[in-house]
Structures are given as structure tokens and as C-alpha cells.
């Protein structure tokens, strides 16, 4: 129970920092950092919406395996996407691992009622947090951005949620 309360507090702090970054135009915070399927990703703050704790989903039949179902997020029905599964990773999910997961909703300005399931929220990051960068391959999908390297040598892949929301593979959910 203490873990759930700590997770709620983390969500509240991150939500407050996201709102502050948006309203004040904080130049140093450019991305929301998350971990999903053992990999690290950077989501542009302008594309990220509200963060919700995992609360379960209503399964939708005859859809691709990465579409976990739909969830009610503050009165809006949103498709819940297992982000690593969408990228082709096979991630075993248990009720225990899902209890610590979060749903990252798309910014309402993107006009997509969807949320990505991520394993952990890792805070806000800016360009100053990285020591190197490699552009995405020319044949990579438009939503896969550059890969950044931090001081510890860890790779962080930028995901353009605006392009993801328009990607045919993302939009075609029927199995």
C-alpha cells in the first residue's frame, strides 16, 4: 500500500512539473522521460498529456495484441496501447508489474484519445542531460526520433507522439 501511495505522489509531482514546464516555458525541460519494456524513451512535453495510474482496461476483441483495451480517463474513453508491444517487443505483463505502471495520455491538441502504457516515469529531461545524439535511420518510422546518450552511457529514444498518432500502423488496430 505504501508503494501505491508513493506512486500517486510521484504522479502528482510529475503532473505539477509538467504543468509548470508548459506554463512557464521552461527551456531546460524538453521531454518526459519514461521506461517501457526495459528501454528508455523521451516524449516531447508538447505532445504528452496527463499521467494516470494503471487502473485496468476493458478488453476490446479482434484487435492487435498491443491494444490492451480502453480505459475511462477523466470521463474520456481512451485506447490503451502497450507501448513496447507496439514497437514489436514481447513484454510479459503481470498484475504486479501493471500495478506500478502508468498511462501517459496524448495531449488533447493531438486529437487522439489514446494513452501509452509505460512501466516507469523517470522525470523531465532537457538537452543538457545528454552527452551525445544519433539521428534516426532514414528508413525508420517518422515517430522514431533521435537516440540520445546520457553520461552513464544509457540510450534514450525520442518518440514523436504527433507522428505516432498519425502513423497507419498505430491507427489500424484490427487484428
Lowest mean pLDDT of 7-21, 46-60, 92-106, name the range. Answer: 7-21
pLDDT value of position 97: 81
Do residues 42 and 148 make contact, with C-beta atoms less than 8 angstroms apart? Answer: yes
CA atoms of 156 and 154, how far apart (whole Å): 7
Mean of pLDDT values over 12-22? 66
Alpha helices in the chain (DSSP H): 2-24, 83-86, 95-99, 161-166, 168-171
Residue 58 banded pLDDT, cuts 50, 70, 90: very high
pLDDT value of position 21: 56
Tell me the pLDDT of the chain averaged across its residues: 89
Give residue limits of the domains in the chain: 2-171
pLDDT value of position 36: 95
In the chain, what percentage of residues exceed pLDDT 90? 74
CA atoms of 33 and 161, how far apart (whole Å): 13
Query: Is the pLDDT at 140 greater than 60, yes or no?
Result: yes
Query: Is the pLDDT at 158 greater than 70, yes or no?
Result: yes
68-90: per-residue pLDDT in tens? 999 999 999 999 999 999 999 98
Query: Is the pLDDT at 57 greater than 60, yes or no?
Result: yes
Q: Computed over its alpha carbons, how large is the radius of gyration of the chain?
A: 16
Query: Is the pLDDT at 148 greater than 90, yes or no?
Result: yes
End-to-end Cα distance, the chain: 37
Burial class (CB in 10 A: 0-12, 13-18, 19+), 140: exposed
114-131: per-residue pLDDT in tens? 999 999 999 999 999 999
CATH 2.40.50.180 correct for 2-171: yes
- The dihedral formed by the CA atoms of 156, 157, 161 and 165, expressed in degrees to the nearest 10: -150
Amino acid at each position: 500500500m505504501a508503494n501505491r501511495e508513493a506512486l500517486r505522489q510521484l504522479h502528482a509531482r510529475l503532473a505539477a512539473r509538467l504543468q509548470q514546464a508548459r506554463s512557464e516555458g521552461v527551456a531546460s525541460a524538453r521531454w518526459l522521460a519514461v521506461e517501457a519494456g526495459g528501454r528508455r524513451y523521451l516524449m516531447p512535453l508538447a505532445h504528452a498529456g496527463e499521467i494516470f495510474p494503471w487502473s485496468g482496461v476493458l478488453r476490446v476483441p479482434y484487435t492487435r495484441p498491443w491494444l490492451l483495451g480502453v480505459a475511462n480517463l477523466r470521463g474520456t474513453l481512451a485506447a490503451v496501447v502497450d507501448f513496447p508491444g507496439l514497437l514489436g517487443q514481447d513484454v510479459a505483463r503481470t498484475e504486479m508489474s501493471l500495478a506500478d505502471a502508468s498511462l501517459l495520455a496524448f495531449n488533447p491538441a493531438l486529437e487522439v484519445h489514446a494513452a501509452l502504457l509505460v512501466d516507469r516515469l523517470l522525470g523531465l529531461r532537457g538537452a543538457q542531460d545528454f552527452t551525445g545524439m544519433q539521428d534516426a535511420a532514414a528508413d525508420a518510422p517518422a515517430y522514431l526520433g533521435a537516440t540520445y546518450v546520457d553520461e552513464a552511457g544509457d540510450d534514450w529514444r525520442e518518440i514523436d507522439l504527433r507522428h505516432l498518432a498519425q502513423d497507419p500502423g498505430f491507427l489500424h488496430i484490427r487484428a
